[in-house]
Amino acid sequence: MLFSVLCFFLLLSRPSRRVAANDTWRSVSLSCPASRVVSLTPANTEIVFALGAEGSLVGVTTYCDYPEEAKKKEKVGSITEVDLEAIVRLEPDLVLAGSLTPPEVIERLTKLGYPVFVLDPKSIPQVIEGIRKVALLLGKEKEGEALAQAMERNVQEIQARVSGLPEEEKPRVFHVIWHDPLWTAGKDTFIHEFITLAGGKNVAEDLSGYVTLDLEELLRRNPDIITVVSAHGENLPYNFIVSDTRLRALQAVQQGQVFVVDSDIVSRPGPRVTEALRIFASIIHPEIFGPYQSSKE
């Protein structure tokens, strides 16, 4: 009922129009741009804020902590443990889900009549395309196109500055997600895309997805640079890499080329993916992009 009333007043204030977009599995069609949105991933929440549509955001997960204002929104559970009753109480006209949203949650919401749009990007271009689609569903096409074009320009600018580098000038990079066991990112990941677009070589490019690697294999691959994600404000993986006696032989450790990167920035497929790319560019080629200041606090 509330959704119908809101649409009625929207139709009075501007020409009538439907909005529609396709996600990975379905087409979502709305009788008018969404005005009550529930986001089930931090990346989707960041997209809504970046589009200037935070006023329409009525529910988020407990992990949605950026920007700061997102923390004040009503909570509907975590990323994988969604509170369906909380969502129903909020009467959304659009639910933005993600790859980790349980399929049964998506199915249940759909059966209850709530439009669910699933974003599951696998690359920076797909993130940008997803932003355009969400902008359409929110009636923020102008803002979405401006954001998308700015992100595309950032990627193109970074690519242009490293495109002429010979292979021998591309540092070999190893990315640490966790240390016990040692988790890293192979091909078909955003991390691999960041490293390669920024003019580096991923030493785990022969592996696929997120995988474990033993210390002996890391020593054998001997990267020039190691990037390590912060873990919920802690730097246990970083401390392990720089202090474990078994890893002192690594060139990256000996040369002081171990850098902490914000796990939220480099792991969320949202509007900050180009910021993540620039972080990797500064780490891999400080002579081109300026030095990266790694925070270890």
Over residues 42-66, the mean pLDDT reads 98
Whole-angstrom Cα distance, residue 126 to residue 118?
Answer: 13
pLDDT in tens, 103-150: 999 999 999 999 999 999 999 999 999 999 999 999 999 999 999 999
Question: Residue 48 phi/psi, 5° resolution?
Answer: -60, -45
E strand or H helix at 184, and its extent?
Answer: strand 182-185
Burial grade of 113 (CB within 10 A; 0-12, 13-18, 19 or more): exposed
Residue 291: which residues within 8 A CB-CB, separation 6 or more?
A: 282
Report which of 198, 207, 152, 197 is spatially closest to residue 177, judged by C-alpha positions: 207
Question: Do you know the residue count of the chain?
Answer: 297
Cis peptide before 286 (omega within 30 of 0): no
269 in Cβ contact with 43 (< 8 Å)? yes
Q: Is the pTM of this model over 0.75?
A: yes
Residue 257 CA to its chain's centroid (Å): 25
**CB distance 221 to 205 below 8 Å:** no
Mode of pairing for the β-strands spanning 210-212 and 182-185: antiparallel
pLDDT at 5: 41
pLDDT of residue 24: 63
**Mean per-residue pLDDT, 20-44:** 88
Helix intervals (H) in the chain: 2-13, 42-50, 84-90, 103-111, 124-137, 141-162, 190-197, 215-221, 236-243, 251-254, 263-267, 273-284, 286-289
Residue 58 has φ and ψ, to the nearest 5°, of -105, -15
Domains of the chain: 20-152 (3.40.50.1980), 168-284 (3.40.50.1980)
Residue 86 pLDDT class (50, 70, 90 cuts)? very high
CB under 8 A, 24+ apart: contacts of 147-152: 147/50, 147/51, 147/271, 151/124, 151/127, 151/271, 151/273, 151/274, 152/128
What's the gap between Cα 242 and its chain centre? Answer: 27
Instruction: Place 295 in a pLDDT band, splitting at 50, 70 and 90.
Output: low
β-partners of residue 211 are: 184
2 has pLDDT over 60? no
> What integer best gives the mean pLDDT of the chain?
92
pLDDT at site 3: 43
198-240 per-position pLDDT tens digit? 999 999 999 999 999 999 999 999 999 999 999 666 789 999 9
List, edge to edge, every strand of the sheet that includes 210-212: 178-179, 182-185, 210-212
- State the Rg of the chain over Cα: 21
Q: Does residue 57 carry a pLDDT above 80?
A: yes
Q: What is the pLDDT of residue 226?
A: 98
Question: Does the pLDDT value for residue 9 go beyond 50?
Answer: no
Using a pLDDT cut of 70, give the percent of the chain over it. 90
